[in-house]
Amino acid sequence: MKENLLSQIFNPVDLKKLSKNQLPQLAQELREFIIDIVSEKEGHLGASLGVIELTIALHYVFNTPEDQLVWDVGHQAYGHKILTERKDIFHTNRELHGISGFPKRSESLYDTFGVGHSSTSISAALGMAIASQLKGENNKQHIAVIGDASIASGMAFEGLNHAGVTDANLLVILNDNAIGIDPSVGALKDYLTAVKEGKNPRQNNIIKSLNFDYSGPIDGHDFKALLSELTRLKSVKGPKFLHVITTKGKGLQLAEEDQVKYHAPGKFEAKTGKIHPKDEDNLPPKFQDVFGLTLVELAQENEKIIGITPAMPTGSSMKFMMQAFPKRAFDVGIAEQHAVTLSAGMATQGMIVFCNIYSTFLQRAYDQIIHDVALQNLPVIFCLDRAGLVGEDGATHHGVFDISYLNCIPNMIICAPKDEIELRNIMYTASLGLKQPIAIRYPRGRGKNINWQQPFQKLRLNEVKCLTKGKDIAVLSTGTIATNVEKAITKLEPNKMISHYHFPTIKPINEKELISIFKDHHKIITIEDGVLKGGFGSIINTFTLQNELKNKVVNLGIPDNFVEHGSVSELQHICELDSNHIYQTIITI
């Protein structure tokens, strides 16, 4: 039996002690290590398996952490983490107080730049490279490893366009596997595919036209090619670009064959890759599926309905619309800005556009919402999946700012349904034709109703729903956090009768109803799955003072700090949004 190499490696200093001939064995061990742990603890799989050789080669050739290595997005950085002093704690990946699923500066010197959202690596690495140049550190290299889905995003282009006119020591490595989370799309992807299929990369080379020293494509699983090319590039000054071809999921056959499913497969059998079957028959649906299936139902009745997703057909369940109406559903790639303004352009022609973007990624299109949609009062329907705390993806991915950043925009309607049926009916109501844009926020994960596919009902959007009628104290909630309030209320003594009102519409807030609630109750508790600053509670606070009401008002929501990773229930506990804390607030207010 061969000696185990991985067990001897604490950090890249140890890695460099191996001979080149030993690296394939190390790659094999690293793959197995990742598969063993991810198969049990869950997490992102395919991306890291695809860059095992590249990861080893980078740390073998370059002088990390002195040379600055930036991983774009970071799904692919498990191998990097394991080789850089985190092998022994890798099993805590994505757990509360464990290591993050993404590179993170506060976790390790080797994580030079925190990531999670795509396409930031070129800008960040260029900033580092220019800084080094100014400090006279002329031999330092700065490396951005970016996938073909991420490099097609506008921000990456901006970085390339700037880098091409500098002489900073930037190395951009394109990890080209033709897939992000879903298969890559767009003209650039077609171009890269042509290169892989034998087109001469010297013709119409977009990278060369941006003034980069282009090399490749090379096989990203071939150590000889990788080590030789990286060693050459190490001493090349200025901006340079290496095109590397890899296979997502490399080394685990099923993961290679179904790359979408094995992006983050959940638990599986380490040896075969077989995913453990889950009995999902009697579970309530995921909100994303409520969105996706409802959209198809609506689209069947109205040919003006369009669906748009920036690179999340699977995650948002827009795939159902893409299957049912391929001409009316668009995956535009990682291009949130374009997605929003494309929607606006369609809306000018009378189309009813459902633009589905995760709450956290809509931050990428903030100006387009204001300038292209709301200012022109175009009735685009934004569906904000993954709103609120998202759990294990952590601080980069929580969708907790949307109420605050949307509420200040004139003309916007903001809705947050409490369950699947309400989400469905808000979508239906919006599809009937609004005179202004609307944002509908709903969380990651499952709802609570098996029989959610009820006949559509048109809603009055600013209706307030009294879920429990009591006196003295009123809890005002918006969105699915209503469930936690309901649980808290069941814990109360039977004689403690409090009211619970659900606000499906946050903007415009129903002031008439609020006046009546404030009249009937001395004490008001607001609660939301979003940041307190500028959120639902803050809207109620301003209402209170503007109307010179003297009620006591207490706001529950996410405090003014970034929330780390952990399960949603753990994070709700930390943020004091769990039913116990709501109960405590009710009995002590």
Residues 426-485 that bind a second copy (CB under 8 A): none
Q: How far is the CB of 377 from a second copy (least distance, A)?
A: 9
Integer CA distances (angstroms), 64 to 16, 34, 58, 516, 533, in order: 11, 21, 8, 63, 40
Strand partners, 422: none
Q: Which is nearer to a second copy, 78 or 113 (CB)?
A: 113
Q: Which of 54, 61, 126, 438 binds a second copy (CB under 8 A)?
A: 126
By the rule CB under 8 A, 169 interacts with a second copy: no
Q: Which of 64, 150, 316, 538 binds a second copy (CB under 8 A)?
A: 538
Q: Which of 6, 34, 51, 347 binds a second copy (CB under 8 A)?
A: 347
Which of 383, 315, 314 shows the shortest CA–CA distance to 343?
Answer: 383
What do you get for the CA distance between the two ends of the chain, in Å? Answer: 67
Q: Which of 283, 408, 432, 515 binds a second copy (CB under 8 A)?
A: 408
Q: Which of 216, 220, 504, 535 binds a second copy (CB under 8 A)?
A: 535
Q: Which stretch binds a second copy (CB under 8 A): 55-63, 79-87, 407-415, 437-445?
A: 407-415
Q: Which is nearer to a second copy, 224 or 237 (CB)?
A: 237
In terms of Cβ atoms closer than 10 Å to its own Cβ (0-12, 13-18, 19+), residue 2 is: exposed
Q: Which of 76, 93, 132, 141 binds a second copy (CB under 8 A)?
A: 132
Tokens of 174: 């394109």
Q: How far apart are CA 322 and CA 325, in angstroms?
A: 5
Q: Which of residues 541-580 bind a second copy (CB under 8 A)?
A: 541-542, 544-546, 548, 550, 552-553, 555, 560-562
Residues 6+ apart with CB under 8 A from 491: 579, 580, 583
Integer CA distances (angstroms), 207 to 25, 58, 364, 454, in order: 34, 22, 24, 52
Q: How far is the CB of 414 from a second copy (least distance, A)?
A: 11
Contact flags string 192-221 toward a second copy, x per CB under 8 A = -----------xxxx-xxxxx---------
Q: How far is the CB of 4 from a second copy (least distance, A)?
A: 35
Q: Is the dihedral of CA 156, 158, 160, 162 positive or negative?
A: negative
By the rule CB under 8 A, 533 interacts with a second copy: yes
By the rule CB under 8 A, 124 interacts with a second copy: yes
Tokens of 134: 């100014």
Q: Which of 318, 346, 413, 556 binds a second copy (CB under 8 A)?
A: 346
By the rule CB under 8 A, 321 interacts with a second copy: no
Contact flags string 279-308 toward a second copy, x per CB under 8 A = ------------------------x--x--
Q: Which is nearer to a second copy, 101 or 265 (CB)?
A: 101
Contact flags string 255-284 toward a second copy, x per CB under 8 A = ------------------------------
DSSP code string of 88-142: TTGGGTTSTTS--SS--TTT-TT--S--SSSS-HHHHHHHHHHHHHHTT-TT--E
* Residue 81, H or E segment: helix 78-81
Sheet of 142-147: strand order equals 68-71, 142-147, 170-176, 240-245, 213-219
Q: How far is the CB of 427 from a second copy (least distance, A)?
A: 20
Identify whether the C-beta of residue 528 lies closer than 8 Å to the C-beta of residue 387: no
Residues 6+ apart with CB under 8 A from 10: 85, 87
Q: How far is the CB of 303 from a second copy (least distance, A)?
A: 8
Contact flags string 490-529 toward a second copy, x per CB under 8 A = ----------------------------------------
Q: Which stretch binds a second copy (CB under 8 A): 149-157, 244-252, 294-302, 464-472?
A: 149-157
By the rule CB under 8 A, 338 interacts with a second copy: yes
* Residue 78, H or E segment: helix 78-81
Distance of CA 509 to the CA centre of its chain: 28
Q: Which of residues 78-117 bind a second copy (CB under 8 A)?
A: 105, 112-114, 116-117
**Which residues are known catalytic residues?**
248, 336, 364
